[in-house]
Amino acid sequence: MELLSRLNSPVIYLICGGIIAFVAVICVIFAVRAYKAGKALGIDVSKMKRVITASVTFAVLPSIGILLGVIALSGSLGTPWPWLRLSGIGALHYETQVAEAAAEAVGIGGLSIAGMTPEAFVTIALLMSFCIMWGMIFVTVNGKAYSNKLTAPKNDSQKAKKKGKLNLSGFGDIAMTAMFIGLVSAYIASYIGSIVSGDGRFTFTGSLLPLAVAIISAATMGVFMRLRKMKGAEWLDSFSVAGSMLVAMISAIFLGKIL
């Protein structure tokens, strides 16, 4: 318990809080620059304001979910470090897994304050930072070249047109939507796969709850999309995803008792 109070000490809060404040400043700088550039490019200011409103409402519920991750990890790693990890580079599904693996490797058996030592904590913290830093490295080293390459298809399509080849302009958006269909399908299918084969092939013992929540959320979204077609209902766009999630999550509280 003495270690836990040291992990929650003002010094650790200062180290972690300072980095979080730095990340917040970076977000503000990027947001202000984008807003000003958008204005200079002639993007409708009301559109940008709608994006900001929609992003705020969209982010609230997942953020509360992330806060639960902080609470869950705070019992073994103290509060400031999980707070930093999940405010910054980290991801909800990733942190516990890596922390658990690191805890086993340092020989404390698992992620628990009972066996935690200062050396184990520092090792776990280092590994949590190290394992997930690659995206930052790639985007720093190759981000400019890669994004320049992606904006090049205009010239390719013009060349293709001249040569009589297939024109790929316009496929970029289709590919993005397709990628998203793939992403969503990988997750929705996993809920069905878990029901059927979660405990071994065709055991049918998995929980129905995630699938039921996804269906309720989709149905609510469908209602939002219908309402959106009504005149003067554009404002609904900003709340449709967050609203659908909220309805589905409230349903989960009740469905959790029966499913």
Q: Which of 183, 205, 227, 233 binds another protein (CB under 8 A)?
A: 183
Residues in contact with another protein, counted by CB under 8 A, come to a total of 159
Q: Would you count residue 115 as binding another protein (CB under 8 A)?
A: no
Q: Would you count residue 33 as binding another protein (CB under 8 A)?
A: yes
Q: Would you count residue 227 as binding another protein (CB under 8 A)?
A: no
Q: Which of 29, 45, 227, 233 binds another protein (CB under 8 A)?
A: 29
CB of 1 to another protein, least distance (A): 15
Q: Would you count residue 96 as binding another protein (CB under 8 A)?
A: no
Q: Would you count residue 235 as binding another protein (CB under 8 A)?
A: no
Phi–psi pair at 207, nearest 5 degrees: -75, 140
First to last CA, the chain: 38
Q: Which of 54, 113, 160, 208 binds another protein (CB under 8 A)?
A: 54
For 73, counting Cβ atoms within 10 Å of its Cβ (0-12 exposed, 13-18 middle, 19+ buried), the class is buried
Q: Would you count residue 144 as binding another protein (CB under 8 A)?
A: yes
Q: Which residues contact 77 (CB under 8 A, 6 or more apart)?
A: 7, 99, 111, 116, 121, 124, 125
Angstrom distance (rounded) from CA 77 to CA 8:
9
CB of 77 to another protein, least distance (A): 11
Q: Which residues contact 235 (CB under 8 A, 6 or more apart)?
A: none
CB of 159 to another protein, least distance (A): 16
Angstrom distance (rounded) from CA 36 to CA 30:
10
